[in-house]
Amino acid sequence: MLSDDKKIRDVVIVGGGPAGLTAGMYSARARMDAILLESFSVMGQATMTDLIENYPGVERSTGFDLVAGFKKQAESFGLQTSQHTVTGVSAMTEQGKRIFEVRTETGEFRALSVIVATGASPKKLEVRGEKDLLGKGVSYCATCDGPFFKGKEVVVVGGGDTAVEEALYLTRFADKVTIIHRRDRLRSVGILQERAASSDKIDFAWDSVVEEIEGKDLVSGVALRNVKTGDISHIACGGVFVFVGWNPNTGFLGDLVALEKGGSIKVDRAMGSSLEGLFACGDCTSKVLHQVVTAAGDGATAAFSSQKYVEEIKGMAYGQIEV
């Protein structure tokens, strides 16, 4: 492995979504020696949506533009960002101080503190046809793939905010969108339920789960099982959009820190993990509400905590650093 510079920074931030970029902005304003590493192979969730209308102060924005604004603002305060996919993190002691080593495919970065903000990736349905037809009608991103389904019929699997929001977005292109949900009512917030119910392009398949995604070279339909009756039915469609939850992107941490059962990082109120000096924020942590606004809040707290931790290690009283 090529070695990056041996310099020991104050903090390495892993992830360039709302959580990481907010942590980066706060760290840069605190004049921490910080670098943010972002992967171009793992897509940030915020960039997957075409409409964000619940980030305070921003009436409507695409996710891409909102995150671009976060980045521009963080960099305007001097945050250094670099494209790297992080493959591992380890901690060691040198001259009585804990040093973190953050490894990437091409080099490594050393720091007194790490903030993990790697978000989450879409959960799969794990049914027959899903893997083989990925990119041939199976998608986890309406913003990316929606325009390919102009004039077609598609299904959306899921019943939460993301599923309904993306179903509404897909009505711009598709002739008909069927929301397949395992329950008999949606889980999404009221305003989205109202919009879905009043759309003449949206239909619902209640109490149903996908048994199989059908098609040879392209998706041709889905087989559904009614969870109450066990009956099997079919819907002909050209696209299957899956929004059934997310898996936190934490595999690269191994057993360095305590994780919840589903893989999210256990954090305290200060965004501290089970390992002193390693903080985490946003959708890779265990939390109640996965949104841009909460990710940004978590990022601010993580940066503040990391700053306090680093200053303590360096033997500086908090407040001596220019903020």
Query: Where does this chain bind ligand FAD (CB under 6 A)?
Result: 14-20, 37-39, 42, 44-46, 48-49, 52, 54-55, 85-86, 117-120, 162, 165-166, 249, 252, 282-283, 290-293, 295
Please state the φ and ψ torsions of residue 216, each to the nearest 5 degrees: -95, -70
CA distances from 152 to 48, 155, 172, 237, 271 (A): 21, 10, 11, 7, 45
Q: Which is nearer to ligand FAD, 153 or 165 (CB)?
A: 165
- Residue 29 CB coordination number (10 Å): 17
Query: Toward ligand FAD, which CB reaches closer, 194 or 312?
Result: 194
Kindly name the residue from 132, 144, 231, 268 that is annotated as catalytic. Answer: 144
- Classify residue 302 by its DSSP letter: H
Query: Considering the complex, what minimum distance in angstroms separates the CB of residue 88 from ligand FAD?
Result: 9
Radius of gyration of the chain measured on its C-alpha atoms: 22
Active site residue 144: yes
145 flagged as catalytic: yes
In whole angstroms, the minimum distance from the beta carbon of 322 to ligand FAD comes to 27
Q: 210 - beta bridge partners? A: 224
| Residue 281 annotated among the catalytic residues of the structure | no
Contacts of 216 (CB under 8 A, 6+ apart): none
CB under 8 Å to 261, separation ≥6 — which residues?
none
Of 50, 145, 283, 298, the active-site residue reads: 145
Nearest residue (CB) to ligand FAD, 14 versus 278: 14
Sign of the CA dihedral 300, 90, 266, 292?
Answer: positive
For the bound state, the minimum distance from the C-beta of residue 197 to ligand FAD, rounded and expressed in Å, comes to 19
Least gap, CB of 96 to ligand FAD (angstroms): 29
> Smaller CB distance to ligand FAD: residue 134 or 293?
293
Residues serving a catalytic function are: 141, 144-145
